[in-house]
A = this chain, B = another copy of it.
Amino acid sequence: MVEQLPISTPLDLVFHALADPTRRAMLHALSNGERTVGELAEPFAMSLAGASKHVKALESAGLIRREVKGRQHLCRLDAARLADAAQWLSFYERFWTERLNVLDALLRQEDVQSDTQGDQR
């Protein structure tokens, strides 16, 4: 059977948006409150139009919302899609906690061995 994948899911857009360090930095800036497009662009060695494209990518991924206020566009974080991404990742949580548990168990076992028999290696 051949798996039929959808053309482009919201999760595709979210992860793709997060794959760019400029956009991740913009999200981080927005974690401190609303910012205009100009303010979001300012830290980067990039034209305003270039930064505007990144903002648009974040917006169409649903990661930010924009409110046009006069000639300024005020952007604010919308974390719902981030929550979706986190939920997708949480499915795999058992795989890394599992590893940590194994490591923990090994360390404990070593402790017991050194307590009762000393380190024999």
A95 contacts B31, C-beta separation under 8 Å: yes
A5 contacts B31, C-beta separation under 8 Å: no
| Chain A 52-89 interface mask (CB, 8 Å, partner B; 1/0) | 00000000000000000000000001011011011011
Instruction: Name A's interface SS.
Output: helix
From B2, B83, B89, B95, A85 is in contact (CB under 8 Å) with B89
Is A16 part of the binding interface, using a Cβ–Cβ cutoff of 8 Å?
Answer: yes
A96 to B79, CA, bound (A): 5
A residues at B contact (CB < 8 Å): 1-6, 9, 11-12, 15-16, 18-22, 24-25, 27-28, 31, 43-45, 77, 79-80, 82-83, 85-86, 88-93, 95-96, 99
